[in-house]
Amino acid sequence: MKNFKIVEHPLISHYLSIIRNKNTKKEEFKIALEKLSVLLANYEYASLKTETTEVLTPLKKCKGNVIKTKVVLLPILRAGLGLLSGFLELYPQAIVSHMGLYRDEENLKPVKYYFKFPEIKDKRGLKVIVLDPMIATGGSVTFTLEYLLNMGIKDIDVVSVLCAPEGIKAIEKRFSNIEKEIINIITCSLDEKLNEKGYIVPGLGDAGDRLFGT
């Protein structure tokens, strides 16, 4: 897919192995996912635009830089909350939105039950970062991207931990007519496939259940 990036880092491999392990306890899972969110945020924020400002140090004035891009973090509930902490830790000024979706277990399609977004009239210079730990069928991400595009947003990044090839292909097919600069997908791993129940293989199970202990 255009603008699809797998982020490689020794610590990403380390924490990814922890959350894949079925014997990892809830507390360890949560901590490892938060560490991954910091590493992914560090990569993701490297693309933010800055503007020059003047800083008064204890000795003299000098030039500095501040973030110019307006950032909205959009976790897809509920598992997306597991990636939120690292992004806020590195850039607390980011605004947090929410998209509430659940997957119909029969047809595997997303169902929306909640959406909250800040009132931003001027969307120039706005970047929305969608947080979803697992892209399986691609249904939830596709639904969210369509929603945001219909709102007139032109800069959307999707950050995940694991992706299935089927999900990436579905997203690529749905948005093949969209300019490649508008949508980016950043992840830690492209896994083998989906099984007959729509779970990523080898995957890590249900991220939301393992994160919240349900």
pLDDT in tens, 59-107: 999 999 999 999 999 999 989 999 999 999 999 999 999 999 887 777 7
Can you give the pLDDT at residue 104?
Answer: 76
Q: Find, among 101, 116, 97, 94, the residue nearest to 41 by Cα.
A: 94
- Give me the pLDDT at residue 122, please: 86
> Any idea where the domains of the chain sit in the sequence?
4-212
% of residues, the chain, pLDDT over 70: 99
Predicted structure pTM score = 0.93
The tens digit of pLDDT for each residue in 98-140 reads 999 887 777 767 789 999 999 888 888 899 999 999 999 999 9
Q: What is the 3-state secondary structure (H, E, C) of the chain?
A: CCCEEECCCHHHHHHHHHHHCCCCCHHHHHHHHHHHHHHHHHHHHHHCCEEEEEEECCCCEEEEEEECCEEEEEEEECHHHHHHHHHHHHCCCCEECEEEEEECCCCCCEEEEEEECCCCCCCCCEEEEEECCEECCCHHHHHHHHHHHHCCCCCEEEECCEECHHHHHHHHHHCCCCCCCCEEEEECEECCEECCCCCEECCCCCHHHHHHCC
**What is the rounded average pLDDT of the residues 135-147?**
93
Q: For residue 34, what pLDDT is reported?
A: 96
pLDDT of residue 108: 65
pLDDT value of residue 1: 61
Return the exposure string of 155-187: e unless at least 16 CB atoms fall within 10 Å of the residue's CB, then b: bbbbbbbbbbebbbebbbeebeeeeeebbbbbb
Average pLDDT over residues 169-193: 92
CA angle 146, 172, 39 (to 5 degrees): 85
pLDDT value, residue 135: 95
Q: pLDDT tens digits for 10-25?
A: 999 999 999 999 999 9
**Are 77 and 52 contacting, i.e. CB atoms less than 8 angstroms apart?**
no
Domain 4-212, classified CATH 3.40.50.2020, yes or no: yes
